[in-house]
Amino acid sequence: MPRLDDEPLLPLTQFLGDADRHWLSIGCRTLGCQRTVKMGFRRAVRLAAGMRTEDWLARLRCTACGNRNATLTVCADSRNPDAIARDGFLLVTRQE
């Protein structure tokens, strides 16, 4: 039986089904930096290459300050269905 500690806190692949309407905001927690980038789930899954989310996050290096101190937030497209149908999915969610 897998231990709870073996499960990633945020399994990236579980979001692939909703990847058109969700993305990650990946931020640097270094005091005074706080650089943030947006990343679609398809790209995140590809870059994580099977790593647990926490392990992948620990490897990310901030391009502004050079530290490895990232955090992530799941973001959702809150536009109504008519707006999405009219304007299409957001660019960030279309990243491959």
Q: Does 62 bind Zn ion (CB under 5 A)?
A: yes
How near is the Cβ of 2 to Zn ion at its closest, in Å? 34
- Residue 40, phi then psi, degrees to nearest 5: -70, 155
CB closer to Zn ion, 62 vs 90: 62
Helix or strand or coil: residue 93? Answer: helix
End-to-end CA distance of the chain: 34
Contact between 64 and Zn ion by CB under 5 A: the answer reads: yes
Instruction: Choose the binding region for Zn ion from 6-14, 15-23, 48-56, 64-72 (rule: CB under 5 A).
Output: 64-72
User: What does the per-residue mask of binding to Zn ion show for 22-61, with x meaning CB under 5 A?
Assistant: ------x-x--x-x--------------------------
Q: Which of 65, 77, 84, 95 binds Zn ion (CB under 5 A)?
A: 65
| 58 membership: H or E segment, kind and range | helix 53-59
- What does each C-alpha distance from 1 to 9, 13, 18 come to in angstroms? 17, 21, 28
- For the record, the structure tokens of 87 come out as 């304007």
Strand-pairing partners, residue 52, are none
Q: Which residues bind Zn ion (CB under 5 A)?
A: 28, 30, 33, 35, 62, 64-65
